[in-house]
Amino acid sequence: MRCLVTGATGYIGGRLAPRLVAAGHQVRCLTRDANRLRDVPWAGDVEVVEGDLSDPGTLPAAFEDVEVAYFLMHSLGRKDFERRDREAAQNFAAAAEKAGVRRIIYLGGPQPPEGGTQSAHLRSRAEVARVLLDSSVPTAVLRAAVIIGSGSASFEMLRYLTERLPVMVCPRWVSNRIQPIAVRDVLHYLIASAELPPEVNRGFDIGGTDVLTYLEMMQRYARVAGLRRRLIAPLRPLTPRLSAHWVGAVTPVPNKIAKPLVESLIHEAIAHEHDIAEYIPDEGLLGFDESVRVALGKIRDANVETRWSTASGRDAAAEPLPSDPDWSGGTLHVDERRADVDAPAAALWRVVESVGGANGWYSPQIAWRARGWMDRLAGGIGMRRGRRDQQRLHVGEAVDFWRVEEVVPGELLRLRAEMRLPGRAWLEFRVEEIGPGRSRLIQRNIFLPRGLAGQAYWTGIMPFHAPLVAMMARNIAREAISPRRGTGDRARPATPR
């Protein structure tokens, strides 16, 4: 089946397109700038067409021979987003009708209540749904509330508020009921909707297994993330407008996005029906806690590189992608140092693989010992373990208060910290060959903080940490250039400088 995906550079579209391909569909992505999809891992598996939903003349090529068209774009964050989205939906529907598209699928928001105050965000989503449903193309509208997954703006607001504020005063909307849904379950419904019978032209509420207040969501997020219970007091005078500014000040979510999302929380957002199950069987809907655990666990307990790359597992949709906004995916502190070395990559790698234990860390040993003593006082393991082999490392081995998490001989060494920390930490070395007899060292210290204590820890150690790791990178590079010779051809590390 040939599918057209709009919004492929966005949160849902960027996760849907490769999964449609995996399901055996031919996928075409419509984007205003093809360069934005040039570097995604699945770029070679899809057809990319440039066009703009605000310009009907650019759409015929995108819709040619398309059977199923996904409308996943929105202009949230722009002052006139309601007008823009309405016109985009009208142009999308007209192009789909002209091309003979068999089905339109739209991911919208909860149905706003009749009468009274309505948020502009939900009002716009409902208007787009009406435009598409009123077209001559059978349309399925999936109405979801808060989507749980790294990169979802609603989830990022929840993440940052809970992690950064152990004590908070919140607006009264924190007592409104919400039915969140895991991003993997949203994608399941989106993909399966392509096979809906042609007579189906309607909206469906979709949600997870739990109905919670926003306050309960924050407390349960804290528990899953290993944080202390949050002290939260609802305060009546906090209007949605004031709340949006407050969210903007506390979190990196842009205020222009936070404002319409916060305003939408004045309404309860629960599924009033589950009719979609008549057409699409549920595949084990995730509850809230499990959805959060999936969104956080792959960053905290697995290969840290999943922050910049995607995986193929069913739950991988909850992980961050390179195309996600900079403010998504949680706070991750990275101190990166680079050094070009006038020595072969093999010589540089020998030095990298020998770090720790009796060889030291190529920087003042007293600083490392002091950190080890601090860890012992806190009940940790300190620096007493050393390393088993002073020349070779293997995955799973201990190196002082680190554990070898990954080794790619000649290229990559990643160590995971096992000292007591308010978060997770890694030390990573990469070696690249950049020319005859020349190589490059890329050294990264990575810290994923846990709560406010983790943020304070990183801020507090930076004045001491930065010069130490800079010195380590310089001295590793120098040792690769002028090693002291030991047995055979192996370079021994110099005395830490």
Per-residue pLDDT tens over the stretch 420-442: 888 888 999 999 999 999 999 99
Structure confidence at residue 9 as a pLDDT band (50, 70, 90)? confident
Q: Is the pLDDT confidence value at 307 over 50?
A: no
What average pLDDT is seen over the chain? 83
CATH of the domain spanning 333-492, picked from 3.40.630.10, 3.30.43.10, 3.40.50.200, 3.30.530.20? 3.30.530.20
Closest CA to 138 of 89, 106, 102, 107: 102
What's domain 2-318's superfamily in CATH?
Answer: NAD(P)-binding Rossmann-like Domain (3.40.50.720)
Average pLDDT on 372-389 reads 80
Q: Which DSSP category does 391 fall into? A: S
Q: Residue 413, Cα to own-chain centre: how many angstroms?
A: 24
pLDDT given for residue 235 in this prediction: 66
Domain boundaries, the chain: 2-318, 333-492
pLDDT digits (tens, 9 = 90+) for 41-84: 888 999 999 999 999 999 999 999 999 999 998 877 677 888 99
**What separation in angstroms does the CA of 361 have from each of 230, 338, 351?**
39, 17, 10
Structure confidence at residue 2 as a pLDDT band (50, 70, 90)? very high
pTM, rounded to two decimals: 0.70
pLDDT digits (tens, 9 = 90+) for 247-293: 766 777 766 777 777 777 777 888 899 999 999 988 889 999 999 99
Rg (CA), the chain: 26
pLDDT digits (tens, 9 = 90+) for 79-100: 788 899 999 999 999 999 999 9
pLDDT given for residue 343 in this prediction: 93
Give exposure, 44-79, as e/b (b: 16+ Cβ within 10 Å).
Answer: eebebbebbbeebebbeebbeebbbbbbbbbbbeee
Q: Is the pLDDT confidence value at 5 over 60?
A: yes
Average pLDDT on 139-148 reads 94
Structure confidence at residue 156 as a pLDDT band (50, 70, 90)? confident
pLDDT given for residue 248 in this prediction: 66
The SS3 call for residue 286 is coil
Q: Is the pLDDT confidence value at 227 over 90?
A: no
Q: Is the pLDDT confidence value at 109 over 70?
A: yes
pLDDT given for residue 242 in this prediction: 66
Structure confidence at residue 165 as a pLDDT band (50, 70, 90)? confident
The SS3 call for residue 221 is helix
Q: Determine how β-strand 2-6 pairs with β-strand 26-31.
A: parallel
Name the residue with higher pLDDT: 213 or 167.
213
